[in-house]
Amino acid sequence: MPIDATVYRGPHEMQVEEIDDPELQGPNDAILEITTAAICGSDLHMYEGRTTIDEGRVFGHEIMGVIDEVGEGVESFEQGDRVVLPFNVACGFCRNCVDDYTAYCENADSETPGGVYGYAQMGPYQGGQAEKVRVPHVDFNALELPEGEEHEDDYIMLADVFPTGWHACELADLRAGESVVVYGGGPVGLMAAYSAKLKGAGAIYLVDRVESRLELAEEHCDAHTVNFEEEDPTEVIPEIHGGKVDKGVDAVGYQAIDGGRHADDAYDKSRENPSQVVNDLIGTVRPTGKVGVVGVYFSSDPNPPEHVEEPGELDVRFGSLFESALNVGTGQCDVKRYDRRLRNMIEEGRAEPSFLVSHRVGLDEAPEMYERFDEREEGVTKVLLKP
């Protein structure tokens, strides 16, 4: 029985197509029947043709659903169990997995350590913007959820954006009472600001250009917001705060927009500066502060802006970084390190990350929603697909 899936057919082209029913490939696999999958900001790098992903791949690494079938070696799950999957595909027993670095699993079938469902350079795993998906090592890779449908829109945030936002604060070693600036008000940036609030941060600042995102940050994360099209955050934040802040988060990555570059289209490639956010962090975080970088950077970009001469290499003000003794933590989130505890916060009503969700649509509307999310259309914050 073929299933429907959201398939990449080249830059700016997603199609809903029928693909083969996924099958168990090993005794520790499961097949998940998907109830909710989300489109992620990091999917947009692939969607825009800015990665090496092949045509024909199914996207989607934010996945939850009900177990449909398990391999004979699976011990902790059975048909009918409701789970959410960390976006990392990990084995559970390699050196990195044992040390909690599940985003860097050495047994993921990929060029660099770490596997991700439906993602460039992160192994051959199919994505979950589809009716079903194969889950390798399901005992390790699935997080059990209470039965039923309650908190569905909150629990889907456990696949990536909520733990990744939390991870950004952990990389920055954010402690209660400290001040923090978050660059980027997409889902991960908002989750970083929300995590900062849950962790008891003093002042929270969030920088973006989309008004609806800034409003969410003010309303749900108690953040002071800065629109970088109107003001330079490296000037205005120290001014409002009375000095530089303690900690910082990069939730933007290499396709950052430089507010000083102008073009008709706000997200025109000619406005990009891959080192913009790192340099802005150096300008807003106080000496001896710490910074967490969770926005995505790639070692190569097949389709870079004309003015970027060496894609993958950043023009970072390293001298200023050194003089300020800044600590910088980087990398993808090891979701398993946090997802159980964050689930408990949702279950107890202490966290409600679904405030991000702006759209819930069927799989057939995925291509249109990719287009609208890619344009950073006002109000298109987080799109959930219900296969």
> What is the spatial distance between Cα 202 and Cα 222, in angstroms, rounded to a whole number?
10
Round to whole Å and give the CA distance between 245 and 162. Answer: 23
> By rule CB under 5 A, what string of x and - marks binding of each residue 263-302 to Zn ion?
----------------------------------------
Subset of 194-253 contacting Zn ion (CB under 5 A): none
Cα–Cα distance between 275 and 258 in angstroms, integer? 9
200, two tokens? 């008891």
**Residue 90 C-beta: closest distance to Zn ion, Å:** 5
Q: Let me know the angle formed at the C-alpha of 87 by 346 and 56, rounded to the nearest 5 degrees.
A: 135
**Helices 339-347 and 161-171, packing angle to 10 deg:** 120
Cβ proximity to Zn ion: between 244 and 376 the closer is 376
Residue 94 or 316 having the CB closest to Zn ion: 94
Q: Which is nearer to Zn ion, 105 or 172 (CB)?
A: 105
Quickly count helices (H) and strands (E) in the chain. 12, 17
Which residue number, 178 or 334, has a Cβ lying nearer to Zn ion? Answer: 334
Name the one range near Zn ion by CB under 5 A: 50-58, 76-84, 98-106, 341-349.
Answer: 98-106
Q: Is 105 in the site for Zn ion (CB under 5 A)?
A: yes
Other residues' Cβ atoms within 10 Å of the Cβ of residue 330: 13
Query: Of 354-383, which residues contact Zn ion (CB under 5 A)?
Result: none
**Shortest Å, Cβ 153 to Zn ion:** 15
SS3 state at 170: helix
160 lines the binding site for Zn ion (CB under 5 A): yes
Q: How far apart are CA 206 and CA 355, in angstroms?
A: 16
Residues numbered 14-73 forming contacts with Zn ion, rule: CB under 5 A: 40
Residue closer to Zn ion (CB basis): 279 or 332? 332
> Which DSSP letter does residue 310 get?
S
Stretch that binds Zn ion, among 7-15, 84-92, 144-152, 316-324 (CB under 5 A): 84-92
Residue selected from 66, 94, 316, 345 as contacting Zn ion according to rule CB under 5 A: 94
Residues in the chain: 387
Give the residues lining the site for Zn ion (CB under 5 A).
Answer: 40, 90-91, 94, 97, 105, 107, 160
